Structure 1
């Protein structure tokens, strides 16, 4: 099974209330979808790392998916749903639910407690997930810095493609571009392969990547769009210049906190979409840190 979308996809942030209850603000999602569409982002990933999917209950994840599925009917954006990070039965339930809503693709983390130790074990796990949504392309979410799972990705992709009928590719959140470029050649390059590292987009695109799922696309899409266009037009110096701008902005944003916490703060400052705080156990920025972030973003002419 193939997933045909290529290009840039935003892993959307989940809007929570700022009243200490951390309730999901579903009414923000239609506005969020329209905002992303207006800035040139035509595909979204729901309930991923940036979306704090693993901090939500199954019912909450379903509600967020339903809200996005409804929103993209109007905006015509591609919808990918991350279903992993729970017990297998719940993952299968989330996969079936996403398929019932007409999601364009599924993304799935590996089992996070009884972790797969081999390629065969990982393939078997995703086979169970794929069986729950037999009509929807399934991609693997490779993020070893979080999961600790470091099987050979080229070997895994080849095995998954041959053994899972719905398998369509992976999100590769790793800066090991040597391994990444080997993955691009698996199945004669027919798998969908998304880079998940904002800091190395220019290098990855130069080496043959054509797609990315990057958090910075939510609030700072222009550099990534320009990087991809510059590489396609063989303008390597322009791509490098835009990458430096993007990396500098990301370093400023993430200077005073964790990835999701700082990205949510930047989103609420830099865009008309207020996504609220992260949900515990993640820690929101304090007022002093937000004030400093405002100053730093202003200095970069991003506010």
Structure 2
């Protein structure tokens, strides 16, 4: 099992669909090349961004395998296997280990809530043990899972019960809590930031790596921000973070992931639309979105160029 902590950007990948809603896995390879060229240092597959919970178990296996094959060992691939059925989550975890994924991650179930530490611990232990030779990252995203378990206490307790627990994908906005997680057991865990619009604050708190959706399109902006922060050019770093915030603000005026898929299409990566219950954009919304994106500094030239290419 790898003992190397992450650094830099890990793109939370999208799942490509054809017009009829079936998987379009032939589009994964070109996207992976784009993500690597843009500076991403890892891929996080079938998470919230990848609509993992909207896929069948077989589809999740196929998507995971497509990304592992396309990455071809050049950057690590993390497979998110969380499921309301623990048995299905275990099948997904075992499959990820079988196909050569670099790590497994999982949310807790979201229908029947994991609202006490003991049950959450047993749940995550059962999932992680199905891929015991891989590092396991717990995916903390309480806004979607509804779990009210204190994450600091959970991570403190989980280390003894889950031998392959290696890290945490922290997708929340509590920087003080994130810092506590970083310091558990003298920095034992690889605690990866997961809220794109707050990356600068996370860097100041001690983050070394981040997993996010918008790294699919503006990874260079975030890399410039990291460089500015590390070079003590705080005003530059703040300006670059604001560019990312503005992009996220515009996308958030629509169903977010549907808007991101529309942006990917504008940039030459047709990944189809999102599955229900996430609705697709209307033609009018798509046109409005393109116009608005031309006012976002980090995207204006890219969107304008793609628009000219299609005309």
| TM-based fold match above 0.5 | yes
* Residues 3 and 105, structure 1, Cα contact 8 Å, conserved in 2: no
Which residue of structure 2 lines up, in the alignment, with residue 70 of structure 1?
Answer: 69
SS at 2:31 equivalent:
helix
**Structure 2 CA distance for aligned equivalents of residues 246 and 58 of structure 1:** 33
Query: What are the within-5 Å matches in structure 2 for residues 74-113 of structure 1?
Result: 76-113=74-111
1:15 partner SS: coil
Alignment partner of 1:141 is 2:142: no
Using the alignment, how far apart are the partners of 1:117 and 1:281 within structure 2? 25
Of 235, 242, 245, 2:243 maps to 245
- Among residues 150, 153, 156, which one is paired with 1:155 in the alignment? 153
Matches of 1:154 and 1:137, distance apart in 2? 19
- TM-score norm. by structure 1 comes to 0.95
Q: Compute the displacement of 1:3 (Å).
A: 4.8
Structure 1 residue 289 corresponds to structure 2 residue 297: no
Match in the other structure for 2:14:
13
Per-residue CA shift, 1:133-188, capped at 9, x if unaligned? 11001111111111111221111111112210000111111011111111110121
Secondary structure of the equivalent of 1:209?
coil
Task: Give deviations 1:26-55, integer Å, cap 9, x for gaps.
Answer: 100111111111111121000000000000
Q: How does 1:44-55 map to 2 (within 5 A)?
A: 44-55=43-54
Which residue does the alignment assign to 1:272? Answer: 268
Alpha-carbon distance in 1 for matches of 2:155, 2:226: 24
Query: Which residue does the alignment assign to 1:234?
Result: 232
Give yes or no for the alignment of 1:38 onto 2:34.
no
SS at match of 1:281: coil
Alpha-carbon shift at residue 232 of structure 1 (Å)? 2.0
Separation (CA, whole Å) in 2 of partners of 1:86 and 1:93? 13
Q: Distance in 2 between matches of 1:171 and 1:284?
A: 28
Q: Is the 8 A contact 1:254 1:263 kept in 2?
A: no
| Cα offset, 1:209, TM superposition | 1.0
Q: Are the equivalent residues in 2 in contact too, given 1:119–1:151 (CA < 8 A)?
A: yes
Q: Distance in 2 between matches of 1:121 and 1:223?
A: 41
Gap runs ≥5 in structure 2: 304-311
How many residues get paired? 298
Cα offset, 1:234, TM superposition: 2.2
What's the TM-score once normalised by structure 2's chain length? 0.92
Contact 2:84 2:111 in 1 (8 A): no
Supply the distance in 1 between the matched residues of 2:234 and 2:173 (Cα, whole angstroms).
Answer: 19
Match of 1:237, SS state, is helix
Residue 263 of structure 1 corresponds to 260
Q: Is the 8 A contact 1:144 1:174 kept in 2?
A: yes
Alpha-carbon distance between aligned partners in 1 of 2:31 and 2:116, rounded to the nearest angstrom: 39
- Whether the aligned pair in 2 keeps the contact of 1:3 and 1:168 (CA below 8 Å) is no
8 A contact 1:58–1:94 mirrored in 2:
yes
> What CA distance in whole angstroms lies between the structure 1 residues aligned with 2:4 and 2:126?
19
CA distance in 2, matches of 1:180, 1:30: 34
